[in-house]
């Protein structure tokens, strides 16, 4: 039915309320204690009369609920959210609720009552190394917070002593006063918890992984003590195994952390670790406990266990209030779904619900859900196994550390710099008029800015090869995929073919509504031909196949379902290809052309545009741009309120800041989902062609921008929607434009972004965009459209890019970027962000990144990071002799969770499987009967020669009794004579040195070699391929290349030959000077190793020697004939360009001046045999 919510923080849905009476006139009445409590408290402040007065207990509603049809969430979404579109997420004044659902008023209430939020967490007993089992374990503590007030329930049957009231406040803004109730037993704990819920009547329940652990455990333990949780507080599991309650909502913050809505600095990060991995958002270190120590602490240290328990409740509550709560309910203002559904559903489902609303109100028929087509064939008759499109272009170009205070060598293109200088006026005019929407006539310093930019560009043109400090920029396209959709009017219904266009009324000669766009198709198919596939299918149709059940009648091929038939055909064709072609799959990419109709109903495009504009609106309310400074409006007002000491204004400013930020972030999430949704399986608006066009166009934009950047700087990394690059510090940067408009007196423009935006305007503008201007007569207006613009982020202080260990490879999407103040701006792709990675690697990376900012030169920088690497290498080489065992366990142990039961893995081999099997040996088979087993292990050095998967030792064995530890270690290590059972003697230290060495190679040593810095960590050797390349580069006796011995010269004219004597000396002097300068220029190792940037070719001068002015006497004896004279002249050797190749160092004048071909060949041979050749006068 209907939904009643408040903006940003909301409460109740009508679909969640039990219906007492539904008359023929559609009049609703409600009679439910908790629900009416919510509604009356919400409307009391608005002066609205209460709907009802009676508040019966929950148990009294059982008869009312019986016999009534349940209203499912799908029905509420269909009847209310889609058809009526009430606009969820905001409080609505209910003035005439008895007059029907459509009487809801659609204006928002500015002042509203805050909902009651309860966040809770439980602590339970458990057997050693096992996950808590509600059938045998019990609840020790329940800690929860209600609107900032904490409560703790303790089970005195388990807890060794009473716990007094205390306060847990990790930070001043996270207050946590806790009231403690020491209950006699577990039943009393659960009863008190239920009674307090009924007393407070929370609107929102918050848990962390409550659907999978907290609620099932509480429900099972309540049933054990004769309590029905659904009858007591209304919570029960639904068909989707989610715990929900009709009068309130359950928000599982774990779904927020692992779903599609966790954004950090514009990057979506999936977090699947425990709550402590997310508490970095709250910026405090929580209490940490080993789960194996909890039961012991319950008896020995109740206060310590209490601190640990309430820390989870505090973190859950403030995590929800600061991040989940404003964000999810901001989405509820957009998505026609309930907040718990918005939290749990994926982005594709939410995007489709939104499109259905827009289509319904635009009178658009909903398409059927996309269905799979079985066993498609390619155009040339091969069975297609899978097909998709080529995604965005991502490329790693360079490796190493790049800092804004360390000079870099730049080799720029003079032609590109000249071209940019000639186009400065056009570039600035486009930026001012198209991007800033300011008429050029209002600009007062246009000529001055143009001259400044041209002066800098011409200065670079005169000296294109230079060494200076760089500017580190990220040039990215703002909302690239949505803007590509808007620019090209892309939408699934607009993808047409010849048959559709032939039946269209607008298909007339000269029609411009068909825009042809390219995309790259990628398919995986089987090599069998069409005839072979048809033969195999005919064979299957003639066979009798076994029954589905043992003893049943045999079945024919046509009796199977279409999906089963397709699977059988694929298996049979795959077996045939394996035997006949020795391969099962082939992969092919094809460039395809698709027609996009520019006159299709634009509801999809209009929806994307509306969301983009609304996001910009909220972003504008949050931020205000001032030259070189970005000030947050509400943060500025907040500081002013703090100066005045006005608590009400302080709270209001904080709420506004969070609200606008959440709204723009919610719009951003949905905006980015419009592209990915069209390739979602089962989507109503499905189109592979549209997704392929979007990606192909985006890749072309980035590739075209790279071609420009590499001629004026050095591109470092290509992202899907941007370029990380370094530009010379003397390159034009930011300029202030002054206008005569008092509303916009001045603004800043960034020349690097403006330069790329002109390129986008030239190459990616849609000149066929058509807009409906007269719906009655179907009149369209054609215009140019381009909303794709580059944005400039930076300059940054430093960027660190690792290198791959394999030759010719680069590590994509891995880098660390630092702000000017030294703080980490972005960290992407490193092990420090991965779950289950070796803790030693994480600690090393966390400490080494900030060290890249030390040192005044590149060598000093690498020396600083080398000291960090040497420290951890010393720890491993010394076998951590000065480190406590507990710290060593944490440092070198790995923790993996098994998602399935051990028996489900079969014959697979892995370290976690070996650990699980060995845990079952000394702890019993019951340890591995369930999924979710946590395997914490180390790698031993024995048995000798065994693979790593067989040398995984459970860490728990070192905590067992000495006799058990000795027995199983001797068994697993296959050493009956083993007498030293210390972990240091068991560990494979070489394995851990190798693991750390791999990380050091990728981050330090290989990037250092790429930047011509000697190995800063000599104990970590370079890979063989890199060592070989370095030897070749530094070898003084290496064989010279043929290009250093030969040079191609144009054929000189007679005038050049006559002037050769007069300019010979000057040209020799100048040529020698240029060669010297070229040889002194140091060379990057990336020009030798891998696929680095191509070095600009240095043209070596052709050095000529003076021709002797004394001619030989005619009476001089003829020289002996050479083999060339005897055999005759050889055919001239020409290069690919048609030029004649000459020996380097042979005087061209002398060869050309000879009498004949024999003399020219002889002169060339003489100069090749002995240089320099001197003539002796007679």
For the stretch 762-786, pLDDT in tens is 999 999 999 999 988 889 999 999 9
Contacts of 35 (CB under 8 A, 6+ apart): 12, 16, 17, 18, 246, 247
* 3-class secondary-structure state, position 748: strand
Smallest Cα–Cα separation from 131: which of 952, 959, 936, 928? 928
Does the predicted TM-score (pTM) go above 0.85? no
pLDDT digits (tens, 9 = 90+) for 100-109: 433 333 333 3
* Highest mean pLDDT of the ranges 165-174, 608-617, 909-918, 986-995: 986-995
Cα 161 to Cα 2: distance, rounded to the nearest angstrom: 50
β-strands 798-801, 815-818 pairing: antiparallel
Residue 110 phi/psi, 5° resolution?
A: -75, -40
What's the number of CA atoms in the CB half-sphere (13 Å) around residue 230?
A: 9
Report the pLDDT value the prediction gives residue 833, as an integer from 0 to 100.
61
Cis amide linkage into residue 2, ω under 30° from 0: no
pLDDT digits (tens, 9 = 90+) for 565-574: 999 999 999 9
Average pLDDT of span 294-318: 88
> Which residue is associated with the tokens 């440092």?
891
- Which region among 307-316, 899-908, 989-998 has the lowest average model confidence (pLDDT)? 899-908
Average pLDDT of span 89-96: 48
Report the pLDDT value the prediction gives residue 85, as an integer from 0 to 100.
52
Q: What DSSP element (H or E) covers 993?
A: helix 989-1000
pLDDT above 50 for 508: yes
Residue 450 phi/psi, 5° resolution?
A: -60, -45
Contact criterion met (CB below 8 Å) for 828 and 814: yes
Report the pLDDT value the prediction gives residue 653, as an integer from 0 to 100.
65
Q: What confidence category does residue 595 fall into, taking pLDDT thresholds of 50, 70 and 90?
A: very high
> Which residue is associated with the tokens 């220029």?
1081
Q: What confidence category does residue 1058 fall into, taking pLDDT thresholds of 50, 70 and 90?
A: low
Average pLDDT of span 998-1014: 93
Average pLDDT of span 426-448: 92
Report the pLDDT value the prediction gives residue 83, as an integer from 0 to 100.
56
DSSP string of 299-331, one letter each residue: HH-HHHHHHHHHHHHHHHHHHIIIIIHHHHHHH
Q: What confidence category does residue 51 fall into, taking pLDDT thresholds of 50, 70 and 90?
A: very low
Report the pLDDT value the prediction gives residue 1102, as an integer from 0 to 100.
44
Contacts of 1073 (CB under 8 A, 6+ apart): none
Report the pLDDT value the prediction gives residue 1110, as an integer from 0 to 100.
44
Mean pLDDT across the chain: 77
Smallest Cα–Cα separation from 725: which of 736, 713, 711? 713
Cα 209 to Cα 259: distance, rounded to the nearest angstrom: 12
Sign of CA dihedral 384, 388, 389, 394: negative
Percent of the chain with pLDDT over 90: 36
Cα 152 to Cα 384: distance, rounded to the nearest angstrom: 60
Cα 1077 to Cα 773: distance, rounded to the nearest angstrom: 66
Contact criterion met (CB below 8 Å) for 633 and 641: no
Cα 226 to Cα 165: distance, rounded to the nearest angstrom: 30
Report the pLDDT value the prediction gives residue 1046, as an integer from 0 to 100.
80
Report the pLDDT value the prediction gives residue 649, as an integer from 0 to 100.
64
> What residue ranges in 390-487 does DSSP mark as E strands?
395-396, 400-403, 408-411, 465-468, 470-477
Cα 412 to Cα 726: distance, rounded to the nearest angstrom: 12
More confident site: 1067 or 305: 305
Contact criterion met (CB below 8 Å) for 596 and 517: yes
More confident site: 68 or 822: 822
- Which region among 46-50, 313-317, 697-701, 873-877 has the lowest average model confidence (pLDDT)? 46-50
Smallest Cα–Cα separation from 155: which of 128, 127, 191? 191
Contact criterion met (CB below 8 Å) for 1167 and 1143: yes
> What residue ranges in 863-946 does DSSP mark as E strands?
894-897, 934-939
pLDDT digits (tens, 9 = 90+) for 212-265: 889 999 999 999 999 999 999 999 988 888 898 888 889 888 877 554 343 333
More confident site: 440 or 932: 440
Q: What confidence category does residue 13 fall into, taking pLDDT thresholds of 50, 70 and 90?
A: very low
Q: What confidence category does residue 708 fall into, taking pLDDT thresholds of 50, 70 and 90?
A: very high
Report the pLDDT value the prediction gives residue 16, as an integer from 0 to 100.
36
pLDDT above 60 for 1143: no
- Which region among 258-262, 602-606, 993-997 has the lowest average model confidence (pLDDT)? 258-262
Q: What confidence category does residue 846 fall into, taking pLDDT thresholds of 50, 70 and 90?
A: confident
Cα 481 to Cα 675: distance, rounded to the nearest angstrom: 7
Contact criterion met (CB below 8 Å) for 1009 and 1085: yes
Average pLDDT of span 809-832: 87
Average pLDDT of span 471-477: 94
Report the pLDDT value the prediction gives residue 87, as an integer from 0 to 100.
52
Residue 805 phi/psi, 5° resolution?
A: -80, -25
Cα 977 to Cα 297: distance, rounded to the nearest angstrom: 38
Average pLDDT of span 825-839: 76
Smallest Cα–Cα separation from 51: which of 24, 74, 21, 76? 21
Smallest Cα–Cα separation from 349: which of 259, 474, 414? 259
Contact criterion met (CB below 8 Å) for 157 and 184: yes
Smallest Cα–Cα separation from 51: which of 1, 10, 99, 105? 99
Q: What DSSP element (H or E) covers 798?
A: strand 798-801
pLDDT digits (tens, 9 = 90+) for 934-980: 788 889 998 888 898 889 988 888 878 888 888 888 889 888 888 88
> Which residue is associated with the tokens 């510090």?
729
Contacts of 498 (CB under 8 A, 6+ apart): none
Report the pLDDT value the prediction gives residue 73, as an integer from 0 to 100.
37
Q: What confidence category does residue 694 fall into, taking pLDDT thresholds of 50, 70 and 90?
A: very high
- Which region among 430-434, 783-787, 925-929 has the lowest average model confidence (pLDDT)? 925-929
pLDDT above 90 for 695: yes
pLDDT above 60 for 709: yes
Find the length of the chain: 1178
- Which region among 364-368, 642-646, 661-665 has the lowest average model confidence (pLDDT)? 642-646
Measured over all CA atoms, what is the biggest interatomic distance in the chain, rounded to whole angstroms? 138
Query: Angle 304-305-308 (CA atoms, 0-180°, nearest 5)?
Result: 90
Average pLDDT of span 577-596: 93
């Amino acid at each position: 039915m209907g939904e009643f919510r408040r903006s940003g923080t909301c409460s109740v849905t009508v679909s969640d309320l039990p219906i007492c009476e539904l008359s023929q006139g559609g009049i609703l009445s409600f009679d439910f204690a908790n629900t009416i409590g919510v509604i009356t408290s919400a409307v009391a402040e608005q002066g609205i009369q209460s709907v009802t007065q009676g508040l019966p207990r929950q148990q009294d509603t059982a008869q009312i609920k019986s016999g009534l049809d349940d209203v499912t969430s799908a029905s509420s979404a269909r009847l209310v959210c889609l058809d009526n579109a009430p606009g969820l997420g905001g409080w609505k004044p209910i003035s005439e609720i008895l007059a029907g659902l459509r009487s809801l008023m659609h204006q928002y209430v500015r002042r509203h009552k805050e909902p009651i939020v309860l966040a809770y967490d439980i602590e339970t007993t458990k057997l050693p190394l096992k996950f808590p089992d509600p059938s045998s374990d019990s609840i020790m503590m329940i800690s929860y917070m209600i609107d900032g007030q904490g409560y703790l329930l303790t089970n005195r049957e388990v807890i060794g002593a009473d716990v007094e009231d205390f306060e847990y406040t990790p930070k001043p803004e996270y207050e946590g006063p806790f009231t403690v109730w020491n209950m006699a037993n577990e039943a009393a704990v659960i009863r008190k918890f239920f009674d307090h819920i009924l007393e407070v009547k929370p609107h929102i329940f918050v848990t962390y992984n409550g659907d999978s652990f907290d609620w099932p455990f509480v429900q099972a333990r309540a049933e054990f003590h004769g309590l029905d949780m659904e009858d007591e507080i209304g919570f029960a599991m639904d068909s989707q195994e989610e715990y929900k309650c009709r009068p309130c909502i359950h928000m599982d913050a774990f779904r927020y952390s692992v779903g599609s809505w966790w954004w950090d600095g514009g990057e979506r990060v999936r977090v699947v670790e425990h709550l402590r991995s997310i508490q970095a958002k709250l910026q405090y270190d929580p209490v940490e406990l080993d789960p194996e120590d909890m039961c012991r602490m319950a008896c020995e240290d109740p206060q310590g266990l209490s601190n640990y328990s309430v820390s989870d409740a505090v973190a859950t509550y403030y995590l929800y209030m600061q991040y989940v709560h404003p964000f999810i309910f901001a989405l509820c203002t957009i998505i026609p779904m309930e907040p718990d559904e918005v939290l749990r559903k994926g982005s594709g489902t939410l995007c489709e619900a939104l499109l259905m609303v827009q289509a319904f109100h635009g009178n658009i028929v909903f398409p059927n859900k996309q269905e799979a087509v079985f066993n498609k064939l390619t155009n040339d008759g091969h069975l297609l196994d899978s097909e998709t499109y080529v995604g965005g272009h991502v490329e790693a170009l360079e490796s190493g550390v790049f800092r804004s205070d360390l000079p870099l060598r730049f080799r720029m293109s003079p032609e590109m710099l000249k071209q940019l200088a000639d186009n400065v006026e056009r570039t600035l005019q486009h930026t001012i008029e198209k991007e800033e929407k300011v008429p050029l006539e209002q600009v007062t310093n246009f000529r001055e800015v143009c001259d400044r930019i041209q002066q800098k560009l011409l200065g670079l043109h005169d000296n294109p090869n230079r060494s200076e400090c760089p500017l580190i920029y990220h040039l990215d396209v703002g909302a690239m995929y949505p803007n590509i959709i808007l620019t090209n009017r892309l939408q699934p219904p607009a993808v047409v073919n010849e048959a559709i266009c032939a039946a269209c009324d607008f298909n007339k000669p000269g029609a411009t509504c068909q825009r042809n766009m390219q995309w790259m198709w990628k398919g995986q198919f089987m090599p069998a031909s069409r005839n072979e596939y048809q033969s195999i299918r005919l064979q299957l149709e003639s066979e009798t196949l076994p029954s589905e059940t043992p003893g049943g009648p045999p079945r024919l091929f046509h009796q199977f379902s279409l999906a089963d038939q397709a699977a059988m055909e694929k298996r049979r064709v795959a077996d045939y290809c394996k035997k006949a072609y020795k391969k099962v799959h082939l992969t092919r990419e094809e460039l395809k052309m698709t027609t996009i109709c520019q006159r299709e109903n634009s509801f999809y495009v209009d929806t994307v545009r509306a969301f983009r504009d609304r996001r910009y609106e909220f972003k504008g309310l949050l931020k205000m741009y001032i030259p070189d400074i970005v000030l947050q409006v509400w943060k500025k007002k907040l500081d002013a309120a703090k100066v005045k000491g006005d608590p009400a204004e302080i709270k209001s400013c904080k709420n506004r800041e969070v609200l606008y930020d959440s709204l723009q972030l919610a719009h951003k999430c949905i905006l980015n989902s419009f592209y990915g949704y069209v390739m979602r399986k089962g989507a109503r608006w499905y189109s592979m062609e549209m997704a392929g066009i979007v990606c192909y166009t985006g890749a072309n934009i980035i590739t075209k921008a790279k071609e420009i950047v590499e001629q004026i700087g050095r591109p470092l990394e290509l992202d899907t929607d941007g370029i990380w690059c370094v530009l010379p510090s003397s390159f034009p940067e930011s300029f202030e434009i002054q206008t005569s408009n008092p509303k916009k007196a001045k603004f800043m423009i960034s020349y690097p972004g403006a330069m790329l935006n002109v390129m986008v305007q030239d190459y990616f503008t849609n000149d066929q965009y058509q807009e409906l201007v007269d719906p009655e007569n179907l009149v369209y207006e054609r215009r140019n459209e381009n909303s794709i613009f580059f944005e400039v982020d930076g300059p940054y202080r430093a960027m660190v890019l690792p290198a791959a260990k394999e030759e010719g490879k680069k590590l994509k999407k891995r880098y660390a970027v630092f702000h000017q103040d030294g703080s980490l701006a972005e960290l992407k792709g490193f092990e420090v962000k991965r779950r289950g990675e070796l803790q030693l690697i994480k600690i090393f990376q966390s400490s080494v990144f900030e060290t890249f900012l030390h040192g005044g030169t590149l060598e000093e920088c690498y020396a600083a990071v080398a000291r960090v690497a040497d420290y951890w290498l010393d720890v491993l080489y010394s076998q951590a002799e000065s480190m406590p065992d507990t710290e060593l366990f944490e440092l070198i142990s790995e923790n993996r969770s098994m998602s399935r039961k051990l028996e489900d893995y079969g014959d697979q081999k892995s370290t976690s499987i070996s650990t699980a099997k060995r845990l079952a040996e000394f702890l019993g088979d019951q340890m591995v009967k369930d999924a979710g087993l946590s395997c914490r292990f180390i790698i031993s050095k024995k048995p000798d020669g065994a693979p790593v998967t067989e040398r995984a030792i459970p860490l728990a064995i070192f905590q067992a009794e000495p006799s058990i530890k000795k027995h199983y270690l001797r068994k697993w290590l296959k050493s009956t004579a083993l007498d030293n059972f210390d972990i240091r003697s068991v560990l494979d230290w070489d394995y851990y040195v190798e693991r750390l060495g791999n990380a050091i190679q990728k981050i330090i040593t290989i990037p250092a070699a790429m930047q011509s810095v000697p190995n800063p960590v000599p104990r970590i050797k370079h890979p063989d391929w890199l060592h070989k390349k370095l030897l070749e580069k530094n070898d003084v006796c290496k064989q010279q290349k043929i290009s250093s011995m030969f040079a191609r010269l144009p054929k000189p004219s007679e005038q050049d030959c006559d002037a050769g004597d007069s300019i010979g000396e000057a040209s020799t002097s100048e040529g020698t000077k240029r060669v010297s300068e070229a040889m002194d220029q140091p060379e990057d190792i990336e020009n030798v190793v891998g696929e680095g940037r191509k070095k600009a070719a240095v043209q070596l001068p052709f050095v000529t020697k003076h021709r002797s002015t004394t001619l030989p006497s005619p009476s001089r004896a003829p020289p002996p004939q050479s083999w060339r004279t005897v055999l005759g002249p050889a055919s001239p050797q020409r290069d690919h360009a048609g030029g004649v190749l000459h020996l380097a160092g042979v005087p061209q004048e002398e060869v050309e001046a000879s009498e004949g071909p024999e003399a020219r060949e002889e002169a060339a041979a003489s100069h090749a045999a002995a240089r320099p050749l001197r003539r002796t006068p007679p």
